[in-house]
Structure 1
Amino acid sequence: MSGAANDCGARETENEKRTARGEQREADSERQTARSGQRGAAPQCCKFLSVVGRSTENLSESGSDKADPADNMEELLSECETLWNQMQEGVYSDVTQHTSRDASFCVIQLPLLMTRVKALSSEINQWQERSPEISSINPDILSVLGKEEFQKVKEDLEMLLFIVQAKNKQLEEDLKREHQWEKEQKEIVNSLTGIKEETKKQVEKTSTRSLQGAAFNELQNKMQTLKEHKEKLSTALAEFIEEHFPLPENRKARNKKSSKEPDVELISLQEILENLISKLLTTPHEPYVTINDSFWPPYIEMLLRYGIARRHPEDANRMRLEAFHM
């Protein structure tokens, strides 16, 4: 009894292992199909092939389990037929969906789809003719295979790490160059800012000097114009006085104080006016001129009568020019 129980337990263990291997093959087939991006009947084809492989493995191990080969074969054929029908339906439904979108598009895509169907059919035939590879269940072999796979993954990861480190190093160098470039640009900006401020100050000084120079030149021009106008007025006044207010024929006046002293020479009206104007401009706080014997009395009376000059309020021998400019 104990031997029969052990045989049953061993058979159950083997069945579980076969089921696990079949599921693993189905998962691998589905992952391979997702990577390749195939659509339509590709998943059904992979599933069909996995079922064929699992059934072949069951047949190969049926001798040890003492199962009925006819039952296994019938089950295998029925499952394969079902999957084959599903695969064909998927292929033709894919073709139908593509052809029902647009007539013009279908005319172009139909040859491609038919070529795809032929390629899938030939691939199915190849997978049917191919005998599935049965992996060994020896723990030592599995350990060696696992170590090789881990070694390959390790090498890939080491290569990836090397590439990432090289890229990081390159990025660090680029970052240092960018920082250096930024520092240089800041220095250039600061230098340009200083030059701008200095230039602005120089422009302001130059503009101020130019304005001052322009104002000074304008004042000089005005002064020159006034001098020329003054000369013209003086010349016109001299001509007018010489024409209308000539000196008497005897230009010498007798001295009133003493008859022994020599006679004093009279001065013209122009000279009297020039003395009055010069006194008013040079000493405006004391603009009075003393009247002496050289002033011809008719000229003095005329200046006083017509309001051109006036006497001192306390001294009758002094007079001044009226302040016409005030």
Structure 2
Amino acid sequence: MAEVKSGGQAAAELSEAALSELMDLCEDQFAQLEKLQNEIILCEPDFCENTREQAVNRLMATDAELKQWLTVEPTLLASNSEVLLQTGKEEMLKLCSELEMVLSCQEAKRDKLRETKELEQKWLEEKKQALLAAKDHVERLQMEKGKLSEHSVLQDTKAKIQKTKVYQERLMESLGDLLEKHVPLPQDEYSTNKKKKNITQELDEDLISLNEILELLMNKVLNTPHDPYVTIDNTFWPPYIEMLLRYGIAVRHQENNFKIRLETFC
């Protein structure tokens, strides 16, 4: 539609003489085209069964026509300068439009490449920062490794052992406080409940606390792991022993019921 309007506008801009000459030239070309078409139709051979021979003949004719067109010198369709000027204007406008489209595509491609370049540069900068941080960390580790000596390692080991001992003592103190609060000595329990229960049997004053029993069991395991059993005597309150056995904290000897040991915890 735009080409029709452009052609109509171009024709309106031409003078009557140039328009008449252009119309006559178009009619001559159209008449020559009809003549050539009629000659081609008349010269076409009849349909034959040998399609291969027919294809070879068409190929030879096309080749001959191509050689003939190569020898022909290009000539202007019109000699009128006004027609040539208007045709040149149309070609230039068409070429400018095509060039504008190419320019627009190239600008879009350039913007896309610029965005990709910025992302790649950002990624490269991040990788460089990570590489520098890794190098600094390696150098710092190497320097720390070079500063370490046998004496410093020994001192560090001693400090860790001391911290472990302090932590163990705190755990034992916490365990003693917990047992003293929730599992009191049998003497205290007997003195507070003597009147209510009317107990006439006196408890042995040499009974040891649950905390002491656990400490005996743990020391036995640590000091003599080949013989971890502790012999039960009259200082062990039977309810304590029963509680330890019932909750899986201690186990009896298979052959001697008066010996117990601390359960092996995995």
TM-score by length of 1: 0.31
TM-score by length of 2: 0.38
